[in-house]
Amino acid sequence: MRAIKLIFGLFAAVSIWGCQSSAETVLKPGTWRGTFARDGQLLPIILDVSKNPDGKTYTVYSVNGSERLKMDTAYFEKDSLHIPMQLFDSEITASVNGDKLTGVYKRLDGIKVLGFLPFQATFGDSHRFFREDAEAGVKNVTGKYATIFKNEVTGDSSVAVGNFTQRGNIVEGSFLTPTSDYRFLSGNVKGDSLYLSTFDGSNAYLIKAAILKDGTLKGAFWSGIRGYKTFTSVLNENAKLPDATKLTYLKPGSETVDFTFPDANGKPLSLKDPRFKDKAVIIQIMGSWCPNCMDETNFLVPWYKKNKSRGVEIVGLAFEHSNDLAVSAPKLKRMVSRLGIDYPVLLAGTNTNVATAKALPMLNKVMSYPTTIFIDKKGKVREIHTGFSGPGTGKYYDEFVTDFNQLMDKLLSEK
């Protein structure tokens, strides 16, 4: 009997210690410098953490230059820290040991893990690649660059324009492509080398380049779990991309767009609906999985709130990974809630060429997410803009905003 009591006492003590250990697992509020490991490279990220009023969960921001991107609420489960980004089907999970985090960054399909990268983080560090004190004689990469990215496996190449600003040894900017931009890139110059990275839950980018004597950048680009390209960027203030309003267009004989698709509750909506009658309409071709679409939505939501009384409507056509409403509806509702969207968002199909051609047969091709279609009060398409230059692109974003407002002012002034 005494042996049984002793065993019970030990079990109780271990149980109490275990509960205390779990309850005492905390994440220090403040700045954490993390890295993802891939192919012998370390992709740095900066996370800003604060504890929520409930004392159990945390608010986490991914910091990329001037961007502070809020992740979903972080929490502990079975002593593991979870930092989810449900909008982009990704999550960081890690064990906490004082000032250290150790775990993985996962890309998901539901609960299925599609791929992962090892993750570590240290509390209190805020530099991205190197400390902020600039080195004497450091090179400067401020300027515009004509860029060619090359896939070394397939041999395919693509054009881009790099646009960077350097202060001391700190660099910010982005690459613009005909269909999107690389969002907020941030990093450092050290000696004759450039280092850039970004992390937004979906995109995890690492860029390293040698700065040649003539200012040319020659380097490599690691993206996500598997992506890899090389690139060459030549300093050229006249570098430019194809006209974004000429890439997607109506097929001959078409003047307008027509559709009927369901919203996240299964209710069908057509462009012939009374809410669109005699109004200018903006059609946003998008996807809940698309960070560039998030950037455009963050512009459109406050713009619509300010201007909808002028006689304009916006409708989002979401092309998702699944055309099953039961699968995609929760993702659309999550996006609508997170981004504060107060215009209708419809499930138009999947993000494949076949599906977009079926959904919008009047277009030559949907080649980018987002793509924005501008329709006048008489129902005629007046312009189609492929891609979106987000706030990470600096002056290009400012130019887009100016052009957007000029076009909408014109359409809204017409009878």
75 contacts: CB under 8 Å, gap ≥ 6: 56, 57, 58, 81, 82
On the question of pLDDT at 8 being above 50, the answer is no
CA atoms within 13 A on the CB side of 337: 10
Helix segments in 57-145, DSSP class H: none
Whether the domain at 26-123 and the domain at 143-235 fall into the same CATH topology: yes
Q: What 3-state class would DSSP assign to 373?
A: strand
pLDDT category of residue 9 using cuts at 50, 70 and 90: very low
Write the DSSP assignment of 315-368 as a string of letters: EEEEEES---HHHHHHHHHHHHHHHT--S-EEEEEESSHHHHHHH-TTBS---S
In this structure, what is the dihedral angle of CA atoms 109, 110, 112, 113, given to the nearest 10 degrees? 60
Angle subtended at Cα 88 by Cα 85 and Cα 91, rounded to the nearest 5 degrees: 40
**pLDDT value, residue 26:** 87
CATH assignment, 143-235: 2.40.128.120
Write the pLDDT tens digit of every residue in 167-225. Answer: 989 999 999 999 999 999 999 999 999 999 999 999 999 999 999 999 999 999 999 99
On the question of pLDDT at 382 being above 60, the answer is yes
Strands (E), 65-142: 67-70, 75-77, 80-85, 90-97, 100-109, 112-123
Sign of CA dihedral 266, 271, 277, 279: positive
How far is the C-alpha of 375 from the C-alpha of 162, rounded, in Å?
32
Strands (E), 3-99: 30-38, 41-51, 58-64, 67-70, 75-77, 80-85, 90-97
On the question of pLDDT at 25 being above 70, the answer is yes
CATH assignment, 260-413: 3.40.30.10
Find out if CATH 2.40.128.120 is the number for domain 26-123: yes
Q: What 3-state class would DSSP assign to 408?
A: helix
**pLDDT value, residue 415:** 86
Name the residue ranges covered by the structural domains of the chain: 26-123, 143-235, 260-413
As to burial, measured by CB atoms within 10 angstroms (0-12 exposed, 13-18 middle, 19+ buried), residue 155 is exposed
On the question of pLDDT at 20 being above 90, the answer is no
How far is the C-alpha of 202 from the C-alpha of 113, rounded, in Å?
14
The model carries a pTM of: 0.89
The DSSP bridge pattern shows strands 312-320 and 280-286 to be: parallel
**pLDDT value, residue 19:** 40
